[in-house]
């Protein structure tokens, strides 16, 4: 968040201030998804203000789970998490497309974080 405060191109930002409706693949009901950040930034080349919707997730939650030697309960939990994330992100992408915004999912890899 300090990065957003200090970056000269960032005009404004908010955290979990906006909700996007999505249909859960688990219960087939409408739920609300609160993306981590909405960022308004000035394009350094054009000067036009762009809006980004950003979600931050561990990289393992952005990839389809592989069964391998995992116990069934753990595997099912990972599949459910991945499926719900996909539904959220599909809804967020459409929300952004309708508004000419950009949607990004960032992980520790893009953020340069090492565990």
Element (H, E) at 101: none
Contact (Cβ atoms closer than 8 angstroms) between residue 55 and residue 18: no
Distance CA 88, CA 19 (A): 10
pTM of the model: 0.87
DSSP string, 36-76: SEEEEEE-TTT--EEEEEEEE--GGGGS----TT--HHHHH
pLDDT in tens, 51-106: 999 999 999 889 988 888 778 899 999 999 999 999 999 999 999 999 999 999 99
What is the number of domains present in the chain? 1
Q: What is the mean pLDDT of residues 37-42?
A: 96
111: its two tokens = 């953020």
Which residues constitute the domain of residue 41? 2-111
Q: Looking at residue 109, what is its pLDDT?
A: 87
Q: Looking at residue 10, what is its pLDDT?
A: 95
């Amino acid at each position: 968040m300090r990065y957003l405060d200090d970056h000269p191109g960032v005009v404004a930002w908010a955290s979990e201030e906006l909700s996007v409706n999505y249909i859960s693949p688990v219960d087939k009901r409408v739920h609300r998804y609160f993306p981590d950040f909405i960022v308004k930034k000035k394009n350094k080349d054009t000067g036009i203000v762009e809006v980004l919707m950003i979600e931050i997730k561990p990289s393992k939650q952005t990839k389809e789970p592989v069964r391998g030697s995992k116990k069934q309960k753990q595997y099912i939990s990972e599949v459910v998490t991945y499926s719900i994330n996909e539904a959220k992100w599909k809804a967020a992408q459409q929300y952004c497309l309708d508004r000419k915004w950009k949607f990004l999912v960032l992980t520790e890899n893009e953020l340069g974080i090492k565990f």
